[in-house]
Amino acid sequence: MYVMLHEPGSWFLFEQDRKFYLDARCSRSFVDFSILIELNEEECEGYQAEGKAFIDQLATRINACQNEFLPRDITNAHLAAVSQAVSEWRETTVRH
């Protein structure tokens, strides 16, 4: 798994084995958390057609409609891989 795109404070887009995963930051009252989903076929097509703009919109939708996406949340199953991918990405990303 590796980081493909990132929007600071909002989301990470990962790829692994030709599958895409979006880790979207969500807020509820005073609690921040993430929802990690595997992009379905329709979402993959949207990403291929619109790129980062589509992912921005999808992350916004996930935050706004959390209950709709919670059944798709696979954070626990991929926590180690996501953490490793983000750590490796941070090590190779030049910060200014």
pLDDT digits (tens, 9 = 90+) for 45-81: 999 999 999 999 999 999 999 999 999 999 999 999 9
Mean pLDDT of the residues in the chain: 94
Q: Does position 39 have pLDDT exceeding 50, yes or no?
A: yes
DSSP letter at 70?
Answer: G
pLDDT, residue 95, reads 59
CB–CB of 26/33 below 8 Å?
A: yes
Q: Does position 96 have pLDDT exceeding 90, yes or no?
A: no
Residue closest to 38 by CA, chosen among 8, 81, 7: 81
In angstroms, how far is CA 28 from the centroid of its own chain? 17
Three-class DSSP category at 7: strand
Name the pTM for this structure: 0.92
